[in-house]
Amino acid sequence: MRKNLNLIFVLMIIICFQLIVFCEEDSITFIKTFAGEKGDYGKEIIQAKDGGYVFIGKTYSYGNKDSDIIVIKIDKHGNELWRRLFGGSNNEGCYSILEVEDGYLILGYIIEFGKKNTYLIKINDKGAKQFEKVYNSDRGYDAGKQIIKTFDNNYVILGEEKKHERFFIYLLKIDQNGGIIWKKDYCHKDGKVFGRSIIQADDGDYYIAGYFEKREQTELYVLKVDKEGSKIWDKRFGSDDCDKGDVILQSKGNKDFIILGRKSKTLCFIKINAKGEIVTSRYYIFKYSTCGGDIKGLNNDEFILTGMFPRKEIGIFKIDKTGNIIWRKYFGSYDFDEGKSVSPTKDGGFIILAETRSFSKGGSDFLIIKTDERGQCPEMQALEKTQATRPAKLKFKKEPNYPEGFKKVDIRGIVILQILIDCDGKPKSVVIYQSCGNEKLDKLVLDAGKQCQFEPALNRGTPVEMKVLLYYEFNLED
């Protein structure tokens, strides 16, 4: 009996320990910025099989002077494990990442000799490149928007092409080595069509969400094709409240489909059935312009979405199967902050990839926010207390003298300063953010920037330091 009691006691300790570890995992939250000196623009984040996270974006801060693709792997606490750059002397960008058995597929575009083409990169789980494919178009413009895995263990790329001012949606089915299986184009006789998101439904058919455009008027557009790419139907949803579809996914509780859309100050949650008929819809109207970035389904037929909301803030919303808001959280400050991608995590929380100017070194930076299951992130709340809720205001801009000799030989250009403004509104540090290529003009602007005066930034009435960008242009009219 005593041995049994001891065994029960040991088991209770093990169970309690497991519960404590589980609770500790549940409480993981963090924020991380990945900042360069120039603009960096996030696209998508996923949780890897090992529990870490991988995100992709376009960067001007690293690599060549033109844009490159950047891939960064972080652990479950947000610590960087590795980063990789892909690109050469051309402009490259990306839209989609997919984890596969032995690594990742990254989809985007490459601009070569004035032509934009779909660009696919395969990397292993350490970020080393396995292969790359450029899918050339005779139309001179095409770009891959999303890649998904198909039920037969191949892949389908959603993209768009342009020819003679007409835009087409295309699907490209490829094998595991990037070889083309088939390609199908879809146009509309009445206007341009653009695809933004694709899923393969439980029955094997594909659903594509995007928008239709004619004479600058846009409508939500959905296209359905079978597993061989043959068109079944397409639908235009003319509405005063929603004119673009950004993301489509299948509801886990039934055979319906959820579309996240938008129009100006309205975010749209639309549910359709397999025939393209609207089952239900919700419209979230805000005071200022809004933008839905991403939506993902949860196991209980609820949804999590992110985007940019009322005051140019990052938003995260949890909504039920009919579109009712369960809770919402906002992150950010006075400046441009936008949630680009969101994903549920293994510990019950959420991971958000955002673009931020409020917490950047200058320009736009990558911002990663890891929340708990209620969308809370104490680290972000603490940081927000030190950030400006009202930006600094320029009171006096000192103009440099444009040397007459420079005018005569037509030396011109733009100089951008990055100025750290102290709590008294005075420049604490002034550096060249973008040079015009002439050292003398750069120095004239640098000296002028040190004499500028500002009203300090405020955080709920209290002065705080803040960085701003200040533009100077030299031209013959000066």
Q: At which residue do the structure tokens 């931020």 appear?
A: 356
Looking at the fold, whether 83 and 163 belong to one and the same domain comes out as yes
Average pLDDT over residues 455-474: 83
Looking at the fold, whether 398 and 318 belong to one and the same domain comes out as no
> Given 330, 351, 384, which residue is the final one in a domain?
384
User: Per the domain annotation, does 296 fall within a domain?
Assistant: yes
Nearest CA-CA partner of 320 in 407, 264, 252: 252
Q: Write out the DSSP string of 28-97.
A: --EEEEE--SS-EEEEEEEE-TTS-EEEEEEESSSSSSS-EEEEEEE-TTS-EEEEEEE--SSEEEEEEE
User: Per the domain annotation, does 16 fall within a domain?
Assistant: no
Looking at the fold, whether 251 and 343 belong to one and the same domain comes out as yes
Nearest CA-CA partner of 388 in 454, 320, 465: 465
399-425 pLDDT, tens digit per residue, is 988 887 777 666 778 888 989 899 999
pLDDT band at 27 (very low <50, low <70, confident <90, very high): low
461: which 2 tokens?
């009435």
> Given 357, 384, 411, which residue is the final one in a domain?
384
User: Per the domain annotation, does 17 fall within a domain?
Assistant: no
Mean pLDDT value across the chain? 85
Looking at the fold, whether 161 and 62 belong to one and the same domain comes out as yes
**Cα angle 153-158-160, degrees, rounded to a multiple of 5:** 155
User: Per the domain annotation, does 275 fall within a domain?
Assistant: yes
Average pLDDT over residues 156-169: 87
225-238 pLDDT, tens digit per residue, is 999 999 999 999 87
Looking at the fold, whether 72 and 177 belong to one and the same domain comes out as yes
Q: At which residue do the structure tokens 């235009």 appear?
A: 236
Looking at the fold, whether 363 and 468 belong to one and the same domain comes out as no
User: Per the domain annotation, does 12 fall within a domain?
Assistant: no
Q: Tell me the residue length of the chain.
A: 478
User: Per the domain annotation, does 113 fall within a domain?
Assistant: yes
428-447 pLDDT, tens digit per residue, is 999 998 888 888 889 999 99
> Given 333, 351, 384, which residue is the final one in a domain?
384
**Which domain CATH number covers 440?**
3.30.2420.10
Looking at the fold, whether 240 and 279 belong to one and the same domain comes out as yes
User: Per the domain annotation, does 5 fall within a domain?
Assistant: no
pLDDT band at 85 (very low <50, low <70, confident <90, very high): very high
Average pLDDT over residues 324-338: 82
Looking at the fold, whether 399 and 374 belong to one and the same domain comes out as no
Looking at the fold, whether 230 and 302 belong to one and the same domain comes out as yes
Looking at the fold, whether 470 and 423 belong to one and the same domain comes out as yes
Looking at the fold, whether 442 and 303 belong to one and the same domain comes out as no
**Which domain CATH number covers 124?**
2.130.10.10
Of residues 292 and 30, more confidence is placed in 30
Q: How many distinct structural domains can be found in the chain?
A: 2
**pLDDT value at 7 more than 50:** no
8 Å CB contact between 260 and 240? no
User: Per the domain annotation, does 380 fall within a domain?
Assistant: yes
8 Å CB contact between 117 and 109? yes
Domain that holds residue 261: 27-384
Looking at the fold, whether 280 and 310 belong to one and the same domain comes out as yes
